[in-house]
Each structure stands twice: as C-alpha cells, then as structure tokens.
Structure 1
Amino acid sequence: MRKVLTLLLALVMAFTLSACGGKDESSSNRNDNATNNRTTIQAGTTDETNDPVGQPSASPTVDHDGSTDVRIKLIFDNEEYIVKMYDNPTSQDFLSRLPLTLTFKEYSGFEKLSILDKGLTAEDAPSGSDPEVGDIGYYAPWKDVNMYYTDWNYSSGLIKLGRIESGPEEFTKKIKSMNDDFTVNIQKMN
C-alpha cells in the first residue's frame, strides 16, 4: 500500500511540475527600436456611468482557451466588431471601465494602440504573451490597449484581454487600412 501511495504522489508531483512549465521568455522581446519611437496618446472616456460594481452580475463561463462568455463590441468607422473576452483580472478591470471611447493610432506596422490615462491591474498576469492577428491586448509597461493586425513576437508585459470573434478577417483589413488616428467606442454587450 505504501508503494502505491508513493507512486501516486510521484505522479501528482510530476503532473504539477509539468503544468508549471512555460514558454522560454528569453526568446524575442518587443522591438527595441519601436520602443524608443513610441509616442504618447491620450485616451479619453466619454461616459463614466458604470454600474456600482462595474462587473458582470453573473460569473462568466470560462472556455478551454481561457475565454469567457463575456463579449464587448468595438464600434468605429461605421462598423461593429465583437470581442470575446478572456478570464483574467486585467480583462475584468478593463470591463469595469466600460463604456469607453479611445483614440487609436498606428504603431510600428503590427498594431493600433491607445494609451490609457490610468493603467489596468496586472495582478496574476503572465510575464508576457505572443500576440496574434485579432488579439486585443494590454501592454502594462506603457498602459496601452492594442489591437493586432499582424502576428508579433513575444512581448514581456503584454496581457491578452480578448480576441475578435466576429469577422476577424474584415477587422484585420479594416484596422490595417486605418492610416490616421481613429476613435473607437467600446461597450459591454448584454
């Protein structure tokens, strides 16, 4: 019996240790030259009428990919795009601030970004992420919300907030083609 318990304990420990493994963070970081060229953008809000708690009333269901059943909509250039949000404290902090109107601008040929006046929480956040086309993220070091239209390298400090769910190809083409600064209205969906 003791051998069985020892074997069971060893299996549990092996599983736990393998689950703690992660991606090599020393791979590539955000483009250093791009870091030096970043300009500050002020993000304004137009409506601060959040509910008292600022959170969805029911607990969201979490899917296997870490996304929830919580969705937001991005409205700009007479188009509406749906984003399926991820389940993390940074996304929840972002949701608590909605509705927002943010001004986005081009950044370095892979994303559009808007710097927030007040940063989001990075509590329990991963040390970084690999953004992909259609990801909506938050880059904690610069307090910016970003929309990716090109896959990019691992970025230390990047936290994924959600992913475009409706029309990802159209969304990608649209934001890539937006050469000038543009305003995005961001709202929770019921």
Structure 2
Amino acid sequence: MNIQVTIDGQPVDARLNDNAVARDFASLLPLSLDLEDFHQTERIAYPPRKLDISGAPDPAAPKAGDLAYYAPWGNLALFYRDGDSASADLIILGHIDDRDTERLANAEHITIEPAP
C-alpha cells in the first residue's frame, strides 16, 4: 500500500508492507503524531491504540527509513539509523523513501495518510 508521509511539512512517498500488522496500522490512517528521539537511532510516537500483531512477519533488522511497530510498548518507530539486530518484538511496517537521514533524525512531527 502506498502512503504519504509528511515530515515537518515536507511530503515524502512511502510504502507499507503487505502483512496483517501493516494493514491494521493502515486502518488508523490518517494519523498526525509528535515524535521524540529514542537511543539516537529512531524517532518514536504512540498511535491511538495498540496494533493487532497476530500474523506478524518474520523478524528483520530495521534499516534507516523503516517505519516499524514495537509491540511491547505499542509505539511507532521511524528509524534514521540502521538497527543492530532483528527482534521478534519489532515489526517492520514499511519504508519511507527519504535518504535524508538528518531530516529523519530531527523530525518533530509526522503525518501519515493514504497516498493521493
């Protein structure tokens, strides 16, 4: 599913993966969230409800630009640096087509909606 992500007013194309958790996330769109830094690797925010993680894909190590969901805390994560390793608790939802990792690292607000 193609989506549009607006990072601090700048629109960027993105795509959600084809899995049950990403489809549950898509049911929440549009979303507007404030971001905070976590471990100098990702920007995080909390969607209005936890996602259903049944049918989650196999774990994969996150890459810069990945949009992910951390199930234990129920938070959304936008990675601006590659993650260290795969975790069964971290579900990759999709990827943002933005190579400007500095912009991702400093993002304060994000809006996610279906692509026009």
Partner of residue 41, structure 2: 110
CA–CA separation in structure 1 for the residues paired with 2:27 and 2:81: 28
Which of these two proteins has the greater Rg computed from alpha carbons? Answer: 1
Q: Report the identity percentage.
A: 29
CA–CA separation in structure 2 for the residues paired with 1:127 and 1:71: 21
What 5-or-longer segments of structure 1 have no aligned partner? 1-69
Number of corresponding residues: 115
Is 1:119 the counterpart of 2:50? The answer is yes
Is 1:99 the counterpart of 2:30? The answer is yes
What 5-or-longer segments of structure 2 have no aligned partner? none
Report the 3-state secondary structure (helix = DSSP H, G, I; strand = E; otherwise coil) of the residue aligned with 1:142.
coil
Normalising by the residue count of structure 1, what TM-score does the alignment of the two structures yield? 0.57
Tell me how large the CA RMSD over aligned residues is. 1.5
Greater RCO, CA 8 A, separation 6+: 2
Runs of 4+ with >3 A deviation: none
Normalising by the residue count of structure 2, what TM-score does the alignment of the two structures yield? 0.90
Partner of residue 188, structure 1: 114
Which structure has more helix as a fraction of its residues?
A: 1
The letter of the residue matching 1:125 is A
Q: CA deviation at 1:126?
A: 3.5
CA–CA separation in structure 2 for the residues paired with 1:173 and 1:162: 19
CA–CA separation in structure 2 for the residues paired with 1:134 and 1:71: 15
Partner of residue 99, structure 2: 169
